[in-house]
Every structure is written in structure tokens, then in C-alpha cells.
Amino acid sequence: MNIRDNFLKVREEIPDYVQIVLAAKMRTKEEIEEAISAGAEIIGENYVQEAEKMYQELGEKARKVKWHLIGALQKNKINKALKIFDCIQTVDSPELAEAINKRAENLNKKISVFIEINIGSEITKTGVKPEYKIIKELAEYISKLNYLKLEGLMTMGPRVGNPEDVRVHFRKTKEFFNRLREANVPNVELKYLSMGMSNSYKVAIEEGANMIRLGTVIFGKRPYDLTKGG
């Protein structure tokens, strides 16, 4: 099976409202191009530098798709990130939100952001603690920043062998999503729940994801695994 077939197969088996973010880390320009020509609309990058390189290599095609940052963002990369990304899925502190806002204001660019939740409370992972109060406070903080538009929640969830074991974490994330929506924070329009990867996207969709992030199932195995950003 090639990339095109893999993409079309997944696209066909999931509901239309579910958006696919291609996890592009360690893939070549040719691989990404093949996925774009099969219909992929969102590229997810973990690293600002890799995104920059891919964006340039893709030329015209880069502007046909949306770019989402799905890895951690370092403060010294924000300016560069703002030039490429349509959405930053990994906001996890007021300090980071504020720093992005300040630079976005300088560039006069409004940017979509998601709050990343460390749903399994894993010490090795980024994201806010899985406590509603903390999530809501961060949402309220972001809502007051004029150049950020909070539109979603994102979670990685623990990487476990059996996707059934992450179900409870996805369910909990969906509960936060629902509660935060019902809180009707001004200037916040929560639309996207980004959760589920190659081994867990089916479970994630069952638990309410409307955005999934896929690498392996589309492109095949990576030579080694990288899950953090920079």
C-alpha cells in the first residue's frame, strides 16, 4: 500500500466531520506531497525548524494546506512559528500564551490556538494538568489576549500498547471539552478536540475527537520515535 491509498482508506473509514492532521515528522517532501495530492489538508509539525524547511521545499503546495504545530513551542521560536503556522495546538501556560500574543500583535496576525492537556499526568509530557479549574483559568487568560483565538483542546494521551487503555483518558478530555464549552467563555469558540494517533484514532473518535493526528498509519513506520517538539 502506498501513501495515497493509506490516506484514502482512513479518510473513507472515518466520519466526514473528523479532520486529519498529518504528523509529518521525519517524512520527506515527496511523502508529504503524495499525501497532499491524495487530499490531506492539514500538516502537523513538531519542530518549527523542520516546518520551515518543509514549507520551503513544498513551494506552492505549502500554501494549499493548513499548518499546525503539534510539538512544544520554545519562546525563541515564536516569531518563526507565527510565519508558518495557522494553529498552535500546544499552548500549556499563561506565560507561553502571553509570549505568543505579544509577537502576534507585532506581526498583526491573529492565531488559532489549542490548550494541550497532559491527560495522563505524565512527567515526561507537556500540557496542563488534567484539572478543570486549571484548564478553565488558562482558557479565560487566553480569551483576554487579542491576537489569540482559542479554538480547541489537544491531548497526546499515554502511549500504550492497547488503545483501549487510553479510552478513559480520551473520555476525560472530552468531558473537559464539554464543560469548557458550556462555560461560554467570551471570545472562545471551542470547535476542535484533537486526540488520537495511528494506534488510537478509532477509540478517540468514539470518545468524541473531531481531529486526529496521524503519521505511521499513513506513511509507515518511522526509523525511530520522536514525540516531543521544540
Ligand X SMILES: *Cc1c(COP(=O)(O)O)cnc(C)c1O
Positions touching ligand X (CB under 6 A) are 23, 25, 46, 70, 156, 197-198, 213-217, 227
- H/E element holding 194? strand 192-194
Please name the amino acid found at residue 46. Answer: N
N-to-C CA span, the chain: 32
| Residue 46 CB, nearest approach to ligand X (Å) | 5
For ligand X, the closer of residues 3 and 197 by Cβ is: 197
For ligand X, the closer of residues 97 and 204 by Cβ is: 204
| Residue 108 CB, nearest approach to ligand X (Å) | 29
> All 3 cell numbers of residue 195?
486526540
Other C-beta atoms closer than 10 Å to the C-beta of 58 total: 17
| Residue 172 CB, nearest approach to ligand X (Å) | 18
For ligand X, the closer of residues 42 and 78 by Cβ is: 42
| Residue 214 CB, nearest approach to ligand X (Å) | 5
CA 59/CA 201 separation, integer angstroms? 30
- Measured in degrees and rounded to the nearest 5, phi and psi for residue 176 equal -60, -45
Antiparallel, parallel or unpaired: β 111-117 and 211-214:
unpaired
| Residue 219 CB, nearest approach to ligand X (Å) | 8
CA 83/CA 189 separation, integer angstroms? 23
For ligand X, the closer of residues 23 and 188 by Cβ is: 23
* Residue with the CB atom nearest ligand X in the bound state: 215
For ligand X, the closer of residues 68 and 103 by Cβ is: 68
